[in-house]
Structure 1
Amino acid sequence: MSVQAWEYSPAELAVVRAFVDGDPLDQAGGPLDVRTVVAAIRPEAKDGFLIDEVPWERFPSGTDVRKDLEQARSGDDAARHAVDMVIGLCANDMRAAAAPAVPFLLRIATDPAAGPHRARALTVAGEVARMAHHGICTREDMLRFRGDDEWRFEITGYLQNWSVQAAREAITADTGLLLSLLDDPDPAVRLAAAYVMAAAVGRARDILTALHTRLPVEHGPAVRAGLVLAIAQLARAHHDAQTTAWMHACWSDPTRPPEVRVSTALGWLCLTEDPVPDEMRTLLNEHATPDLARLLEPLPWMHAASTGRRTGLQRCLHAMLHPDVPDPTDCDNPWA
């Protein structure tokens, strides 16, 4: 394709030449491979917040991310602005510069000075580690990490698969840091930590064990549901058959609280292709109430599935229980 240099920043122009005009695979392992860049960040640089060691300028908007992260530890407002910058890149389908920020976002989450922005920093790190998934609520796709079977490109032309993989590997490298956050006093942090760890590409058994250990002592209903969905997503990514059996035992156990039974029912539906049992339909008719839907709405998985007209739980249940019936609220016509 023909481009005019004045329309692009140097980083954008380099990406177009390498990934649009050229063969993306030629960049594997090179300076524009964000997976290589993130893997090369020294542990001391992460812990010391040594932002300047990262070559941000190689990726579109990278210098803006660096600037915001440099200020992130100077106070509450700076941390908020840095986190908002990264989530803005995800919203604009630009994750290449966001992926190197993941190790630093995780450390913002452990910094008391970040205050109320700790949980958001974790959630944003989890978003960087996922392809765009807003509006997705089917059994096949709700918990699936898309991109394993097809190339997807960002708006800049960068190969998004690499951005997401770099973020997931960064999360895996900091599993030890994240595991400790499951016992954080803030329930929002505990929930966000589970969401982030569900994206890890390694140490799945350690993470699953920690999530299962936390579940029976967790007092927050929404956090319990989040732990369940994190277990389900991690199990799907790592083909853990034991989790499917555990999910079935949970949703069919009347002694379990409603949010656990409903969330394990969702997890089971996403982990299998079996027909929906009548017993499950009865359970969901009784316990998947509007009040429960509102309780679960802050969960990142539910928030991503929701629309202005229906909660995430409502849309997921319609898509999973009635896959052949179009959801009228998905129509662009508000009078439909």
Structure 2
Amino acid sequence: MDDDFWVGWPERWTGTDCDVRTAVGAIPREVKDGFRYDEVPWQRFRHFYGPGEEIPGLLATLASGDAEAADRALQQLWTNLHHQGGTIAVGALAVPFLLRIAAAGRPELRAQTLRLIAEIGRCQHMGDGSRESLLQVAEEPLMIEGSTMCPVDWTIQAARQAVTDDLHLLLPLLSDPDPEVRSVSAYVLAAATGELSHASSALQTRLAKEDDAAVRVSLILAIAQLAREHQDGHAPKWAHDLWSDPGRPPEVRIGAGLAWLCLATDPAPDELRALLTDPGSRQYDDLLQPVPWLTWVDHNGAGLRSCIDEMLTANIPETVLDDPWGGEPSS
């Protein structure tokens, strides 16, 4: 390989055929709406196990009327585009089509399709439930994906822009009959890079009428993530008002407590610490495990507890740490 190839990387690649942000941004609306896969430059990028040209066939099968084949195609797309928690450039090219398939395709596959979209546009965060990372989306600028040498954050930026361009497809899904779809729709919407007042307003409106506990927490975390990413200085007070209000449902207070810890830099107030470590909050471990942010912290059902433990004990000297749950560890 020419030694000069890497000179000026990655800045010299900006806007070139190697920049997935440019490739995704150049896909016309009519190509997306018409599923005209042959007009998309899949060949420029590989997936984790092979050439990008394989992705359109899987997308077409996912959108087909064959339920079993569609399910297999979705599982293969997960394997190809989200290996070990990571994302890859060709996945961003798939996002506009995945959004359309999720909106109009098989209802039983909608939630998992939306979840894949969200993970394509988010940094690898499995196991990290810290105040700094739970709502983080961007990746380190120089982190690269080995098979394409494309900065991972370029993929995330491209996927997030694709989500923003198609908010009109996502917003109606906040009212889907399936709570899991509503929850994951909030997860995807939290990645928006524009139309922020529109997205946040839709999330707030849904929160005011939502009656499912896990969806409520997903909506709160989505609102907080948008606020954190776009430096909304009013958000910490909003979250504080929610968690400190004893008239709110317990899951709303717990979700808002997590949101506040991610939005603020102050130590956790004693009142918040008491709320989150109250033994009664253990009953919400299973109930809130489906919240997408918590699922990725711990797939084995301890997402909420892991977040609370990490957020409340970070930067405290080990010699003064007490059991934040006030009791014996669970088996």
* More divergent stretch after superposition (20-29 vs 207-216): 20-29
- Determine if the alignment matches structure 1 residue 237 to structure 2 residue 229: yes
- Determine if the alignment matches structure 1 residue 66 to structure 2 residue 52: no
TM-score under structure 2 length normalisation? 0.88
Q: Measure the CA separation in 2 of the matches of 1:288 and 1:50.
A: 53
Q: Which ranges in structure 2 are unaligned for 5 or more consecutive residues?
A: 324-331
Q: Measure the CA separation in 2 of the matches of 1:124 and 1:134.
A: 14
| Counterparts of residues 156-167 of structure 1 (less than 5 Å) | 156=147, 157-167=149-159
Match among 109, 130, 141 for residue 102 of structure 2: 109
**Match of residue 180 from structure 2:** 188
Residues 65, 85 of structure 1: 8 Å contact kept:
no
* Deviation (angstroms), 1:267: 0.3
**Match of residue 52 from structure 1:** 38
Match among 88, 113, 123 for residue 95 of structure 1: 88
* Deviation (angstroms), 1:25: 2.1
Give CA deviations for 1:191-243 in whole Å, capped at 9, x if unaligned.
Answer: 11100010111111111111111111112111011100101111100111222
| Counterparts of residues 1-336 of structure 1 (less than 5 Å) | 23-61=9-47, 62-75=52-65, 76-88=67-79, 89-92=81-84, 93-111=86-104, 113-147=105-139, 150-156=141-147, 157-286=149-278, 289-306=281-298, 308=300, 311-323=302-314, 324=316, 325=318
Residues 79, 108 of structure 1: 8 Å contact kept:
no
**Match of residue 329 from structure 2:** none
Q: Measure the CA separation in 2 of the matches of 1:81 and 1:101.
A: 17
Distance verdict in 2 for CA 1:266–1:95, change over 3 Å: same
Q: Measure the CA separation in 2 of the matches of 1:125 and 1:21.
A: 33
Distance verdict in 2 for CA 1:287–1:124, change over 3 Å: farther
* Deviation (angstroms), 1:307: 5.3
Residues 95, 117 of structure 2: 8 Å contact kept:
yes
Residues 138, 316 of structure 1: 8 Å contact kept:
yes
Q: Measure the CA separation in 2 of the matches of 1:225 and 1:51.
A: 36
* More divergent stretch after superposition (20-29 vs 137-146): 20-29
Give CA deviations for 1:137-180 in whole Å, capped at 9, x if unaligned.
Answer: 11111112232x63211132321111111000000001121111
Residues 222, 299 of structure 1: 8 Å contact kept:
yes
Residues 56, 97 of structure 1: 8 Å contact kept:
yes
* More divergent stretch after superposition (286-295 vs 35-44): 286-295
Residues 197, 207 of structure 1: 8 Å contact kept:
yes
Q: Which amino acid aligns with 1:28?
A: T
Q: Measure the CA separation in 2 of the matches of 1:72 and 1:22.
A: 40
Residues 198, 234 of structure 1: 8 Å contact kept:
yes
Give CA deviations for 1:104-155 in whole Å, capped at 9, x if unaligned.
Answer: 11111112x42311111111100000011111111111112232x6321113
Q: Which amino acid aligns with 1:37?
A: A
**Match of residue 328 from structure 2:** none
* More divergent stretch after superposition (126-135 vs 282-291): 282-291
Q: Measure the CA separation in 2 of the matches of 1:203 and 1:312.
A: 30
How many residue pairs match? The answer is 311
Q: Which ranges in structure 1 are unaligned for 5 or more consecutive residues?
A: 3-15, 329-336
Q: Which amino acid aligns with 1:95?
A: I
Q: How much is the aligned-residue C-alpha RMSD, in angstroms?
A: 2.3
Question: Kindly, what percent of the aligned residue pairs are identical?
Answer: 43
Q: Measure the CA separation in 2 of the matches of 1:50 and 1:213.
A: 35
TM-score under structure 1 length normalisation? 0.86
Q: Which amino acid aligns with 2:153?
A: N
Residues 19, 150 of structure 2: 8 Å contact kept:
no
Q: Which amino acid aligns with 2:218?
A: G
Q: Which runs of 4+ in 1 moved over 4 A?
A: 325-328
* Deviation (angstroms), 1:305: 0.8
Q: Measure the CA separation in 2 of the matches of 1:114 and 1:17.
A: 48
Distance verdict in 2 for CA 1:52–1:160, change over 3 Å: same
* Deviation (angstroms), 1:26: 2.0
Q: Measure the CA separation in 1 of the matches of 2:136 and 2:256.
A: 16
* Deviation (angstroms), 1:24: 2.4
